[in-house]
Amino acid sequence: MDKREFLKASGAIVAGTILSKAAASEQPNGPRENWAGNIAYGTERLYTPGSVEEVRSVVKSSAKLRALGTRHSFNRIADSTAAQISLKNLDQIVIDETARTVTVGAGVTYGKLAPVIDAKGWALHNLASLPHISVAGAIATATHGSGIRNGNLATVVSGLEFVNAEGELVRLTRAKDGDRFLGAVVGLGALGVATSVTLDVQPTYQVAQSVYRNLSFDQLQHHLDEIYSAGYSVSLFTDWQNHRATQVWIKRRLAAGDANKWEKEFFGAALANEKLHPIEGHAAEACTEQQGIPGPWYERLPHFKMNFTPSSGRELQTEYFVPRDRAYEAILAVEKLRDRITPHLFITELRTIAQDNLWMSMAYQRPSLAIHFTWKPEWPEVSAILPLIEAQLEPFETRPHWGKLFTLAPAKLESRYARLNEFKSLAASYDAQGKFRNEFLAHNLYAS
Ligand SMILES: Cc1cc2nc3c(=O)[nH]c(=O)nc-3n(C[C@H](O)[C@H](O)[C@H](O)COP(=O)(O)OP(=O)(O)OC[C@H]3O[C@@H](n4cnc5c(N)ncnc54)[C@H](O)[C@@H]3O)c2cc1C
């Protein structure tokens, strides 16, 4: 019996004895891999429970288990060699108008959530570049959008419910649980299986976005904060050639009666008069509306529309966080590698993220610039470049995005997260035996 057959057979026994049909180990038709197709998951066994009770049963009966979101991470953070559990069937959305919160089942994606709350007059503070990801999976890795005053998506979590390794349901809130809560929100899947997440909402708003072309990096030396403050959310894109950002995307929140006027020039960059994709040559129809056309927050804050393939499709991603007050220096340090980087790159995006107090957040107590790379699917070449970029960024004590590709040594990671030991103790208090610990966590958090 080979590994696949063994896992199928043993999965069927577990499912048959203790779980309902809905929670049974599912054998998907296609290959079991992440969205980008660069990671083949190490198990055939995927549980898809239909209720919190079924989640508890799966957790109790599993020796090892890893929660899986919508599979958008590029590394093995969601992987397991034993079993994964998808919460996609837990899809309730409950708005509390008085508390100004929405509580979502862990399977809910931002794409599903946003129009529902908008129809009731509510909005979230920000979104990532794509709406396709699950709320639970996004907050677990401190996923972020842009905006000099916007914290990452996990910063609006006000409550979290998860099943710990014993199969018990744990509820933590920002209001009552202090430090424990701040440690648990960006949980990297290490504390348990989240079943629901409560998020702060605010009255709905309109956003208009415009794109400018060719902003010289020289402008960043003295005007970086001004440039990133020119909108509610600002992104610079570059291919690292010619010392310039190829595109600047500015997303402005519109107040009632706002003239919504866009200057023809922005720090020497020219207002685009056609819709653009961040990657030259890609069709712009996948992108959210530009040219200053106002629309609801959830149709402008992401770069990509829900019903289209976001970004490039077959690609790899990497992202490094550096302190915002040293952002220009860090950009120049990476620029030195431009002729190594560009041949393997689709595009780089430079975004700002406000600091926060979530222990494992890449922006923990540090206003940040995130230097992102969307790579061509050329792992041998990309994996040779990453250590070079990491060496260039060494003076900036860079923190890599938890859901993207990096090669930084575990000892370095440890030195960049002041609360790491407390995080490990917190994880142990919910999972004493390491049931939720996979190879990614063992290597990156527990090896040094
Ligand atoms: C095209 C593309 C664009 C992207 N753009 C951005 C961007 O703009 N900004 C950004 O910051 N990132 C971005 N990312 C990265 C992505 O947002 C993160 O990797 C995110 O964590 C993916 O969420 P997911 O639902 O797919 O979770 P997965 O990748 O499936 O899992 C991620 C982590 O969440 C944990 N997890 C998932 N569900 C649960 C649960 N119920 N309970 C406990 N833990 C759970 C997993 O165990 C794992 O540790 C992008 C990715 C892609 C593919």
**What pTM did the predictor assign?**
0.94
Distance 17 CA to ligand 1 centre (A): 32
Q: What is the pLDDT of residue 314?
A: 85
Which atom of ligand 1 is closest in space to residue 188's alpha carbon? Answer: 49
Expressed in percent and rounded to 5, the helix, strand and coil fractions of the chain are 30, 25, 45
Q: How many CB atoms lie within 10 A of CB 283?
A: 10
Give nearest CA residue, ligand 1 atom 41.
194
- Phi, psi (deg, nearest 5) at residue 421: -65, -40
Distance 405 CA to ligand 1 centre (A): 12
Pocket test for ligand 1, best of 73, 108, 405 (most atoms within 8 A of CB): 73
Q: What is the pLDDT of residue 2?
A: 34
77 CB within 6 A, ligand 1: yes
Distance 75 CA to ligand 1 centre (A): 10
With 0-12 CB in 10 A as exposed, 13-18 as middle and 19+ as buried, what is 229? Answer: middle
303 CB within 6 A, ligand 1: no
362 CB within 6 A, ligand 1: no
Q: What is the pLDDT of residue 130?
A: 87
403 CB within 6 A, ligand 1: yes
Pocket test for ligand 1, best of 133, 188, 360, 436 (most atoms within 8 A of CB): 133
Distance 89 CA to ligand 1 centre (A): 17
Type of residue numbered 305? K
106 CB within 6 A, ligand 1: yes
User: Both tokens of residue 367?
Assistant: 């206003």
- The Cα-based distances of 67 to 26, 200, 310, 372 in angstroms read 14, 24, 23, 25
CA distance 91 to 107: 5
pLDDT tens series, the chain, 448 aa = 333 332 333 333 233 233 444 454 444 555 799 999 999 999 999 999 999 999 999 999 999 999 999 999 999 999 999 999 999 999 999 999 999 999 999 999 999 999 999 999 999 999 998 889 999 999 999 999 999 999 999 999 999 999 999 999 999 999 999 999 999 999 999 999 999 999 999 999 999 999 999 999 999 999 999 999 999 999 999 999 999 999 999 999 999 889 999 999 999 999 999 999 998 888 899 899 999 999 999 999 999 887 776 666 689 999 999 999 999 999 999 999 999 999 999 999 999 999 999 999 999 999 999 999 999 999 999 999 999 999 999 999 999 999 999 999 999 999 999 999 999 999 999 999 999 999 999 999 998 6
Pocket test for ligand 1, best of 52, 68, 170 (most atoms within 8 A of CB): 68
CA distance 364 to 438: 24
With 0-12 CB in 10 A as exposed, 13-18 as middle and 19+ as buried, what is 157? Answer: buried
Q: What is the pLDDT of residue 447?
A: 86
66 CB within 6 A, ligand 1: yes
Q: Could you tell me if 370 and 353 are in contact, meaning their C-beta atoms sit under 8 angstroms apart?
A: yes
Q: Could you tell me if 373 and 348 are in contact, meaning their C-beta atoms sit under 8 angstroms apart?
A: yes
DSSP 179-207: HHHHHHSS-TT-S-EEEEEEEE-EE--EE
Which atom of ligand 1 is closest in space to residue 162's alpha carbon? Answer: 42
CA distance 190 to 360: 11
Q: What is the pLDDT of residue 264?
A: 97
Q: Could you tell me if 197 and 139 are in contact, meaning their C-beta atoms sit under 8 angstroms apart?
A: yes
Which atom of ligand 1 is closest in space to residue 440's alpha carbon? Answer: 49
- The Cα-based distances of 245 to 8, 214, 287 in angstroms read 50, 5, 19
Q: What is the pLDDT of residue 256?
A: 87
Give nearest CA residue, ligand 1 atom 46.
78
User: Both tokens of residue 189?
Assistant: 């899947």
Q: Could you tell me if 3 and 11 are in contact, meaning their C-beta atoms sit under 8 angstroms apart?
A: no
Which atom of ligand 1 is closest in space to residue 107's alpha carbon? Answer: 41
Distance 262 CA to ligand 1 centre (A): 34
Q: What is the pLDDT of residue 306?
A: 73
Helix or strand (DSSP H, E) at 21: none
The C-alpha torsion from 108 through 111 and 113 to 119, rounded to 10°, is -160
Distance 362 CA to ligand 1 centre (A): 14
128 CB within 6 A, ligand 1: yes
Q: What is the pLDDT of residue 310?
A: 61
137 CB within 6 A, ligand 1: yes
Name the nearest CA neighbour of 124 among 157, 160, 96.
Answer: 157
Residue with structure tokens 């239909």? 50
Give nearest CA residue, ligand 1 atom 20.
138
> Can you name the residues that pair with 47 across neighbouring β-strands?
25, 85
CB hemisphere CA count around 276 (13 angstroms): 21
- The Cα-based distances of 35 to 40, 121, 310 in angstroms read 10, 32, 11
